[in-house]
């Protein structure tokens, strides 16, 4: 069974995280939420308290099939500024695992730390203007090798279903479930 880590830093965009977690779990993909803080308790961008499954510090040596990096103005800054997060992402990227930023995370976390490596990506707003090591593409979801990025909250379902299909190696279950929840994917 595929296993995904969703990294939750203080200020994370809660809907991007929750929609992705929900869709993946509905499709029987194991998801572990990891707080990028000293405790499992993390407060989101809109001051919603959440308790993660564990902390990143407790799972630095675990290798997941994919890492999801939700955005959020402060959340992505906190992810980008964490040496643990950067090392964790780099190790997974080097192992060919899926790296999945949404919204501001692609520009701030990956672009801000030289982790885009020339790959095509999408991010929110004009943050792409500060990125030097990737190729910005204005699309809802962009895939390039093991990088899967989403533009922002408005495409969180597209992002989550695309990730699920990629992990399962087949779009059938994701398409069936999208139809089940009345989502046109």
Q: Supply the residues annotated as catalytic.
A: 103
If residue 100 lies in a helix (H) or strand (E), which one and from where to where?
strand 98-101
3-state secondary structure of 122: coil
Look at the alpha carbons of 87, 88, 93, 95 in this order and tell me if their dihedral is positive or negative: positive
32 contacts 5 by C-beta, under 8 angstroms: yes
- What b/e readout covers 4-13, taking b as 16+ CB neighbours within 10 angstroms? bbbbbbbbbb
Q: Is the dihedral of CA 135, 136, 138, 139 positive or negative?
A: positive
C-alpha triplet 132, 136, 137: angle, nearest 5°: 170
Query: Would residue 71 be called left, alpha or beta, if left means φ above 0 and alpha means ψ between -120 and 50 degrees?
Result: beta
Question: Count of CB atoms within 10 A of residue 37's CB?
Answer: 18
């Amino acid at each position: 069974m595929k296993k995904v880590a969703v990294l939750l830093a203080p200020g994370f965009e809660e809907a991007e995280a929750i929609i992705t977690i929900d869709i993946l779990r509905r499709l029987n993909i194991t998801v572990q939420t990891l707080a990028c803080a000293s405790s499992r308790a993390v407060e989101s961008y809109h001051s919603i308290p959440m308790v993660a499954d564990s902390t990143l510090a407790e799972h630095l040596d675990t290798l997941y099939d994919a890492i999801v990096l939700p955005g959020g103005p402060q959340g992505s800054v906190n992810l980008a500024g964490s040496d643990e997060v950067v090392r964790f992402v780099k190790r997974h990227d080097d192992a060919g695992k899926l790296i999945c930023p949404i919204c501001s995370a692609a520009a701030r976390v990956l672009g801000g730390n030289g982790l885009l490596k020339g790959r095509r990506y999408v991010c929110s707003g004009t943050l792409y203007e500060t990125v030097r090591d990737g190729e910005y593409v204005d699309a809802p979801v962009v895939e390039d090798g093991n990088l899967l990025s989403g533009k922002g909250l408005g495409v969180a379902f597209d992002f989550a279903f695309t990730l699920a299909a990629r992990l399962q190696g087949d779009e059938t279950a994701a398409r069936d479930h999208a139809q089940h929840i009345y989502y046109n994917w």
